[in-house]
């Protein structure tokens, strides 16, 4: 019997999330909070609707994450293009935090991908980025060329 890719991705996600959450606990962050900060650092001033679409999660989950990150001093809400929307931006504290956790995340990545050669790891990264760009209908996942 062939193992289906969605199942493999789900299990890999569970394993990776657990390991990353363990590493990020020292910084009072979860992998989901990190993901939101990382997206905002790459694409400043996204709206909550943009983030929900890009991260593939419900808007309510984005609201909760944003509230947690605002309370922690990592995100600011700014007025949006209209009266109802809000732009989000990360603070200097969050930029500093992201720079500090880069090393621990690279170490976790190395542990997860230990059996892969560097070119295989980069191929996997590129394939996952393409899958996410297609699945979310958002080219922001694709590497900048």
Residue 79, SS3?
strand
- Rounded CA gap, 17 and 32, in Å? 9
- pLDDT for res 110: 94
Q: Specify the pTM.
A: 0.86
Q: What is the pLDDT of residues 106-133, one digit of tens each?
A: 999 999 999 999 999 999 999 999 999 9
Whether the pLDDT of residue 14 is over 80: the answer is yes
Q: In angstroms, rounded to a whole number, what is the distance separating the alpha carbons of residues 139 and 130? A: 8
Q: Which residues of 12-46 are buried (b: 16+ CB within 10 A; e: fewer)?
A: eeeeeeebbbebbeeeebbbbbbbbbbbbeeeeeb
């Amino acid at each position: 019997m062939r193992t289906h890719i969605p199942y493999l991705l789900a299990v890999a996600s569970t394993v990776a999330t657990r390991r990353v959450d363990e590493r990020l606990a020292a910084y009072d962050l979860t992998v989901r909070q990190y993901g939101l900060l990382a997206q905002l650092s790459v694409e400043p001033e996204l709206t909550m609707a943009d983030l929900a679409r890009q991260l593939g999660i419900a808007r309510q989950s984005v609201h909760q994450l944003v509230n947690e990150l605002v309370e922690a001093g990592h995100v600011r809400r700014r007025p949006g293009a209209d009266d109802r929307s809000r732009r989000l931006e990360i603070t200097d504290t969050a930029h500093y935090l992201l720079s500090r956790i880069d090393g621990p995340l690279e170490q976790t990545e190395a542990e997860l991908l230990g059996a892969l050669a560097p070119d295989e790891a980069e191929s996997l990264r590129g394939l996952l980025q393409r899958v996410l760009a297609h699945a979310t209908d958002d080219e922001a996942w694709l590497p900048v060329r």
